[in-house]
DNA sequence: TCTCTAGGATTGTCGGACAAAATTATCAGA
DNA sequence: TCTGATAATTTTGTCCGACAATCCTAGAGA
């Protein structure tokens, strides 16, 4: 019956109230207007967005499930802030999943390397021009390309959730870093491995790249992290 | 996520209404009173449990985030039912994370192997006695032991979510299987690798064990799966 | 300065209400 | 009988207002 309908269908459907609220909060976090650790109260958003408390509550829960916020009973929600230990834990999981994504996506990306090549070119340009914010965005898109082409939606979702809670730290690293060239060199190497269809090297390259990202994040000053409970 | 995971059951805090509802639904799914694919309406639970619709709604969302239910806009929630393709996708992720858990937990379990040995003895007894339901339960506890001792709560949560949506199929396999001995043999082998502190073999053993579980599940008849959308 | 205690602020839960969407039932026509 | 369109019913999404339980904060008292 509905064979014609909504195969690609991005934003055709009328966005629900909850989705609108969730998008607004997400945008605020991405834009730095809400910073990690900051507490969000329901009333603040009911007033500002003109929606009911129910909708705000549900948006909060949804974003908490996405890893962007963290909810505590009777204490409301805050923008997720990771401790150094949690960053290490996250990167252990991320390493395992990103290498899996590389492995699964390699055939697809090797067969149709167009988007990868194009993205690599943009990354090179941004790195050369020193446009850090733009490089950070492209870096996200680069990793997205792999998990999207892994042909495993569950893997994609799981990785996306992890990276959601990592967004801010990753962004800080890119902006503060005096040397994105090393990061970009790793991208180039990985891209080359894909082009050569060298699975083993590609996996190793991704693993090293993720480890580098971890080290860069851990090199940020303490005030970017939640206190490590211990 | 934490609401339904009362394995050690820290019942200290008075359980919230939502948690009560979530526990009831979880118990119903575990007990087979709610089967995969079945649709749950809000009213049915408001009446039966004597709580408001708000609480039921929130419990639904929470369980959907846990992977036990699946929610679709304007269509309510159903008990999650996987297609064969989704099972494969899930096992790809599970394999990566479960081997990571082995790797991380090995030092701890090798240093204090008591619980592992005890659990292995119980598994042997259940397998010998042909108590399949009991074996299934112990099998779950066996895997739980690894991810709990990996020292990585995020890994634990992520794996738990995956396994939640797999509970029913895993249970069917155990109950229907005419040969749990092969599965138990793999457990014994893995236990031995831990005792010997042989990391490489332990990882390989787990990988093989997970792959075997996948094959057993895929050998179930079609009516246990959602139609594969392709 | 520190501890303890109001009081205000915030969340958890309830009940009802209504429009929008989906599901089910009904029925005319082939 | 079957099919397809239409109407009736159910269910969800969202809103509102309310209240108790809990958390937070500022000020009183030691």
Q: What is the pLDDT along chain B (230 residues), one digit of tens a residue?
A: 333 332 333 334 578 999 999 999 999 999 999 999 999 999 999 999 999 999 999 999 999 999 999 999 999 999 999 999 999 999 999 999 999 999 999 999 999 999 999 999 999 999 989 888 889 899 999 999 999 999 999 999 999 999 999 999 998 998 887 778 888 999 999 999 999 999 999 999 999 999 999 999 999 999 999 998 76
Residues B122 and B205 in one domain: yes
CA distance B178 to B209: 17
Q: Which of B79, B105, B130 is the last residue of a domain?
A: B79
Per the listing, tokens 């738990």 go with: B160
Q: Is the CB of A61 under 7 A from strand C?
A: no
Nearest CA in chain A to B57: A58
Contact between chains at A97 and B97 (C-beta distance less than 8 A): yes
- Domain match, A220 and A162 both: yes
Contacts of A230 (CB under 8 A, 6+ apart): A85
Would residue A61 count as lying in a domain? yes
Task: Measure A1 CA to C26 C1' (Å).
Answer: 22
A68 and A124 housed in the same domain: no
Rounded to an integer, what distance in angstroms lies between the CA atom of residue B173 and that of residue A181? Answer: 51
Q: How far is the CA of B78 from the C1' of C22 (A)?
A: 15
Domain of A50 in residue numbering reads as 17-79
Whether A53 CB is under 7 Å from strand D: yes
Whether B59 and B155 share a structural domain: no
CB atoms within 10 A of CB B13: 9
Q: Count how many Cα atoms sit within 13 Å of the Cα of residue B126 in the half-sphere of its side chain.
A: 22
Give residue B120's pLDDT: 95
- The sign of the torsion formed by the CA atoms of B93, B94, B95, B101 equals positive
The pLDDT confidence band at residue A13, using thresholds 50, 70 and 90, is low
CB of A81 closer than 8 Å to CB of A91: no
Report the CATH number at residue B157: 1.20.120.530
Distance CA A136, CA A142 (A): 10
- Residue B228 CB neighbours (<10 A): 13
B16 touches strand C (CB under 7 A): yes
Measured CA to CA, the distance from residue B53 to residue B76 in angstroms comes to: 13
**CA distance, residue A148 to nearest chain B CA (Å):** 13
Asked whether B211 and B95 are in contact (CB, 8 A), the reply is yes
Work out whether the CA dihedral A49, A55, A57, A62 comes out positive or negative.
Answer: negative
Residue B138: per-residue pLDDT: 93
Top residue of A15, A89, A163 to mutate, by most chain B CBs within 10 Å, is: A89
pLDDT tens for B78-103 read 999 999 999 999 999 999 999 999 99
Nearest to B155 among A62, A89, A100 (CB): A89
Same domain for B108 and B74: no
3 state DSSP class of A77: strand
Asked whether residue B1 is assigned to any structural domain, the reply reads no
Is B47 in the same domain as B104? no
To the nearest whole Å, the CA of B229 is away from the closest chain A CA by 13
Based on the domain organization, do A137 and A190 belong to the same domain? yes
Antiparallel, parallel or unpaired: β A76-79 and B39-40: unpaired
Instruction: Tell me: do B157 and B43 sit in the same domain.
Output: no
B88 within a domain of the structure (yes/no): yes
Domain count, chain B: 2
CA distance to partner chain A, nearest, from residue B132 (Å) = 30
For residue B15, what pLDDT is reported?
Answer: 83
Q: How far away is chain B from the Cα of A125, in angstroms, using its nearest Cα?
A: 34
Q: Which nucleotide is nearest to A74 (CA to C1')?
A: C11
**Does residue A134 sit within a domain?**
yes
Which residue among A16, A65, A89 places its CB closest to the CB of B154? A89
Output the pTM of the full model.
0.90
Do the domain assignments include residue B55?
Answer: yes
CA-CA distance, A51 to A20, in Å (whole number)? 10
User: Is residue B5 assigned to a domain?
Assistant: no
Residue keyed to tokens 């019942």? B11
| Position A7 confidence tier, pLDDT thresholds 50, 70, 90 | very low
In a domain? residue B2: no
Percent of chain B with pLDDT over 90: 82
> For residue A168, is it within any domain?
yes
A19-30: average pLDDT: 96
| A63 plus A91 within the same structural domain | no
Using an 8 Å Cβ cutoff, are B18 and B62 in contact? yes
The minimal CB distance from B73 to the residues A16, A65, A104 is found for: A16
User: What is the average pLDDT score of chain A?
Assistant: 91
Q: Which residue has the tokens 């991405």?
A: A30
**Chain A residues near any Cβ of chain B (below 8 Å):** 13, 16, 54, 57-58, 61-62, 65, 73, 86, 89-90, 92-93, 96-97, 99-100, 104, 152-155, 158, 162
Strand arrangement, sheet containing B76-79? B39-40, B76-79, B69-72
Residue A24 and residue A128 in one domain = no
* B:38-77 Cβ neighbours of strand C under 7 Å: 50-55, 58, 74-75
């Amino acid at each position: 019956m509905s064979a014609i309908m909504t195969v690609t269908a991005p934003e055709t459907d009328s966005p629900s109230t909850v989705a609108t609220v969730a998008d607004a909060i997400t945008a605020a976090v991405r834009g730095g207007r809400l910073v990690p650790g900051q507490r969000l109260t329901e009333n603040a958003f009911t007033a500002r967005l003109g929606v009911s408390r129910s909708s705000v509550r549900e948006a909060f829960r949804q974003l908490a499930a996405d890893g962007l916020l963290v909810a505590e009973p009777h204490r409301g929600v805050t923008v997720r802030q990771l401790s150094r230990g949690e960053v290490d834990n996250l990167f252990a999981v991320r390493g395992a999943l990103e290498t899996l994504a590389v492995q699964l996506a390699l055939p697809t990306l090797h067969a149709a390397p167009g988007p990868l090549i194009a993205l690599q070119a943009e990354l090179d340009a941004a790195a050369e021009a020193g446009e850090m914010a733009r490089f950070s965005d492209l870096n996200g898109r680069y990793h997205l390309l792999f998990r999207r082409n892994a042909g495993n939606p569950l893997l994609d979702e799981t990785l996306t959730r992890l990276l959601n809670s990592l967004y801010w730290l990753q962004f800080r690293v890119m902006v503060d870093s005096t040397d994105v060239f090393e990061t970009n060199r790793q991208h180039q190497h990985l891209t080359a491995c894909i082009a050569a269809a060298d699975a083993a090297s590609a996996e190793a390259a991704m693993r090293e790249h993720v480890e580098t990202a971890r080290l860069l994040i851990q090199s940020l000053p303490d005030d970017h992290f939640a206190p490590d409970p211990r």
